[in-house]
Amino acid sequence: MTGTSTGPAAKGQSSATVERERLLRVLALATFIIFFQAFMVAPIIPQLSATFGTSAETVGLIVPAYLIPYGIATLAYGLLADRLGIRPLIFASLAAFAVLTVLTATAHSVAALAAWRVLTGLGASGVVPLALVLVGGMFPYEQRGRPLGGLFGAMAGGMAFGSTFGAVLEPYIGWRGLFLLVGTAGAGVLLLLLPYRGFIGARPRQAVATLGDLFRGYRDLLGTQRGRRTYGYVLLNSVFQSGVFTWLGVYFERRYNLGPVGIGLALLGYGVPGFLFGPVIGRVADRLGRARLLPIGLGLGSLATTALILGLPLLAAAIAVTILSLGYDMTQPLFAGIVTSLGGMRPGQAMGLNVFFLFTGFGLGSLVFSNVLRLGFGPALGAFATVEAAAALASVALFRSEIPPGTARNLSQKPQTTQ
């Protein structure tokens, strides 16, 4: 009797679970493509510099030209998602990404290329934050480590393959071919997402917010100690990671005299740890607590950057790049997990603010590093490594409350975990 009554419910639950997992894979693929095109640009800065006959520093401006508008636009997408629902926005944003990426191939100057990158950043910035919001709604907080690790693993994979194959493919298909290829791939992912529009549309829409609600929401998110420290570290860590990564192509060209293929192979390790172990890192964070992993991740980033100063053999420098990536994979996904618990009734706004700080930090990092780079790679890398090391030490105390509920029972009952 019990089996008969629970059978249909169990079957429905199983079907929903299967669809949820399939949607997660499609969202991961979309995330992979978005990050592939974002990270395929930095390694080909030397080639674009030669093509357009201008300095690498000038061409390097196309990186923040994409990343900063991307970060700013996520604030609007987060708000609109809470008002209009996720489905129309994620489809529109993915379509804009595909079209604008293809049109980028028509640029005939650095200025035109930068303009297309600005537009692409504005149009494409809804996909990843809305995917993160979907995951936050599909999984309870104590189970979000794995799916969030999967999405951030897809980000890491996009970074790895974008930074590598952007440089490797450019001599064969040209930079225009790269944008055409990625834009076409984006259109293909859009088609794969269409069968799940009903499931996405079934996600509950949040209450309509006024402009005053919007500002109160940001005030509430940043008005707690937990919110300030989490978003602050998202910004600081993204400035660090992007600042170092954006200029690694130029670093390997100047220090090791590598060409495009060599640069691509040297950067192969960036993103690989997250791509392979993202869900595993997420499970470990769920089990042991983010408080234990965050200082390690931040410290690894600082250690890897310090190693790049030392004039290591090429293979050792490539390994340092992989360790730098592992530092990213052990931090930003964990911060995103915390953010999913901050939003309350407005998860879109909370995640939009997270991605705003993430991508704004990416853009600012490339700008700040390019200015410090005037002193040379040694001082620039040293300055970034020092700040990241200080952040790692401070995080031990700042994130000590980010532990699993079972562990929290052994601590005094303080309001730290809800700050």
Is 9 part of any domain? no
Q: Tell me how many domains the chain contains.
A: 1
Type of residue found at 289? G
What is the distance between the alpha carbons of residues 69 and 123, in angstroms, rounded to a whole number?
A: 9
Interval 253-282 mean pLDDT: 81
Residue 293 has pLDDT above 80, yes or no: yes
Whether residue 206 is predicted with pLDDT greater than 70 in this model: the reply is no
Question: Would the pLDDT of 94 be above 90?
Answer: yes
Q: Are 328 and 294 in contact (CB under 8 A)?
A: no
Least confident of 200-214, 231-245, 296-310, 331-345: 200-214
Predicted pLDDT at 387: 96
71: containing domain? 19-418
Question: What tokens were used for 307?
Answer: 């190693």
What pLDDT, on the 0 to 100 scale, is given for residue 152?
Answer: 74
- pLDDT of residue 252 exceeding 80, the answer is yes
32 within domain boundaries: yes
Within a domain: 300: yes
**Each residue's pLDDT tens digit, 16-52:** 677 778 888 899 999 999 989 988 888 888 889 888 8
What is the arithmetic mean of pLDDT over 383-387?
Answer: 95
* Residue 13 covered by a domain: no
Per-residue tokens: 43: 């390694």
Q: Which one-letter DSSP state was computed for residue 205?
A: P
pLDDT for res 346: 65
Q: Is 11 within a domain?
A: no
Q: What is the mean pLDDT of residues 78-96?
A: 82
The pTM assigned to this predicted structure is: 0.74
The answer for residues whose C-beta is within 8 angstroms of residue 67's C-beta and 6 or more apart is: 38, 121, 242, 359, 360, 362, 363, 366
CATH number at residue 47: 1.20.1250.20
10 within some domain: no
